[in-house]
């Protein structure tokens, strides 16, 4: 019995030591990314590992994941070049708190990068600085979509580093097409690509007015916040959507631009001009 107890104690100590090991030091040759998630109404457990894989497969990024952003501060972000947000809160109780929110604002405004992914555009209602970083947000009475369907993304800005060299259009399959977001003032965001929101697809179930037959809605856009750069993508509802090549290419290129201000990633032949 004593031997069993001793063996069990040794196993417990070994396990604790194993999990207590610090993270490996960051690779200075790679863009250091912190992906913030853990709370959502969309399938974040499906999408988060794919987002990480998309970036790391380029060999240009090193990604760590935090599922509890509410504890972060400036010291948390100090060694990162880029933050990716895959988070959605349902009210003030799931906000990050003043310290964490101020830390993100300072991080971006100092010249670092931010990527806001899909329904993270609907997070943090009332956080005015986040809305400035986002450019467009899903808000009460602003933001809806028809049933998931195939649609075409049309590049509108062929000169931006993110979209330069891409085909003029590419498909997204069975994704959500966000429409009628609440936008900041013209000139504070730069639309890179749009998609045609066909109003006939709402079949009488639109949450907001849909005059006319349809309208081109921004799908990819950028903002600048202080010295920092922000890439916003409305694409990619679930794990299958983010595995699609067009999502991965635009997401990775947007992330590199946000972090470094340039894009060096090659474009796969299927999406190149």
Structure token digits, residue 252: 């990775």
Q: Quick one: average pLDDT of 225-250?
A: 98
More confident call, 163 vs 5: 163
CATH of the domain spanning 31-271: 3.40.50.880
Give the percent of the chain with pLDDT over 70: 91
What pLDDT does residue 93 have? Answer: 83
Place of tokens 């800005």: 157
Which residue in 143, 124, 140 sits closest to 132, CA to CA?
A: 124
Give the pairing type, strands 61-66 and 31-36.
Answer: parallel
Which DSSP category does 180 fall into? S
**How many other CB atoms are found less than 10 A from the CB of residue 203?**
9
Q: Is 59 exposed, middle or buried (0-12, 13-18, 19+ CB in 10 A)?
A: exposed
Per-residue pLDDT reduced to its tens digit, 208-217 = 999 999 999 9
The sign of the dihedral angle between the CA atoms of 62, 66, 69, 72 is negative
Residue 259, pLDDT > 60, answer: yes
- List CB contacts of 236: < 8 A, sequence separation 6 or more: 47, 117, 118, 175, 242, 247, 251
Residue 2, pLDDT > 50, answer: no
Which residue in 99, 59, 95 sits closest to 76, CA to CA?
A: 99
Lowest average pLDDT, out of 24-38, 154-168, 210-224, goes to 24-38
What pLDDT does residue 24 have? Answer: 57
What pLDDT does residue 21 have? Answer: 39
Structure token digits, residue 73: 């501060």
Per-residue pLDDT reduced to its tens digit, 159-209 = 999 999 999 999 999 999 999 999 999 999 999 999 999 999 999 899 999
Which DSSP category does 42 fall into? S
CA–CA separation, 139 and 32 (whole Å) = 31
Edge-to-edge strand ranges of the sheet holding 149-155: 61-66, 31-36, 82-85, 113-117, 228-233, 214-225, 189-198, 149-155, 169-175
**pLDDT, averaged across the chain:** 92
- Residue 72 confidence class, pLDDT cut points 50, 70, 90: very high
Per-residue pLDDT reduced to its tens digit, 37-63 = 998 999 999 999 999 999 999 999 999
The sign of the dihedral angle between the CA atoms of 87, 90, 93, 98 is positive
Q: Quick one: average pLDDT of 86-103?
A: 93
Residue 1, pLDDT > 60, answer: no
Structure token digits, residue 62: 């090193």
- What is the residue extent of each domain of the chain? 31-271
- Residue 239 confidence class, pLDDT cut points 50, 70, 90: very high
CA–CA separation, 250 and 271 (whole Å) = 10
- List CB contacts of 262: < 8 A, sequence separation 6 or more: 161, 256
pTM higher than the cut 0.75: yes
Question: Is there a contact between 176 and 193 (Cβ–Cβ < 8 Å)?
Answer: no
Distance of CA 253 to the CA centre of its chain: 12
CA–CA separation, 245 and 106 (whole Å) = 33
Distance of CA 1 to the CA centre of its chain: 54
Structure token digits, residue 58: 């380029």
């Amino acid at each position: 019995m004593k031997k069993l107890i001793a063996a069990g104690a040794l196993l417990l100590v070994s396990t604790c030591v194993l999990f207590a090991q610090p993270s490996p030091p960051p690779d200075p040759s790679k863009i250091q990314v912190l992906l913030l998630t853990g709370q959502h109404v969309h399938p974040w457990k499906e999408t988060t590992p794919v987002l990480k894989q998309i970036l790391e497969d380029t060999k240009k990024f090193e990604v760590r994941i935090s599922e509890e952003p509410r504890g972060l501060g400036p010291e948390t972000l100090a060694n990162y070049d880029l933050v990716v947000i895959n988070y959605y809160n349902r009210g003030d109780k799931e906000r990050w708190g003043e310290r964490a929110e101020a830390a993100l604002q300072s991080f971006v405004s100092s010249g670092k990068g931010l990527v806001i992914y899909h329904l993270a555009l609907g997070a943090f209602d009332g956080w005015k600085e986040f809305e400035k970083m986002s450019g467009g947000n899903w808000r009460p009475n602003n933001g809806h979509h028809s049933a998931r369907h195939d649609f075409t993304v049309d590049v509108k800005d062929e000169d931006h580093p993110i979209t330069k060299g891409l085909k003029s259009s590419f498909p997204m399959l069975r994704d959500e097409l966000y429409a009628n977001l609440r936008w900041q003032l013209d000139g504070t965001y730069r639309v890179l690509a749009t998609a045609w929101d066909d109003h006939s697809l709402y079949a009488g179930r639109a949450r907001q007015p849909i005059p006319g037959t349809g309208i081109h809605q921004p799908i990819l856009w950028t903002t600048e916040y202080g010295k920092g750069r922000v890439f916003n993508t409305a694409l990619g509802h679930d794990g299958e959507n983010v595995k699609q090549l067009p999502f991965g290419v635009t997401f990775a290129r947007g992330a590199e631009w946000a972090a470094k201000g340039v894009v060096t990633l090659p474009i796969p032949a299927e999406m190149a001009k």
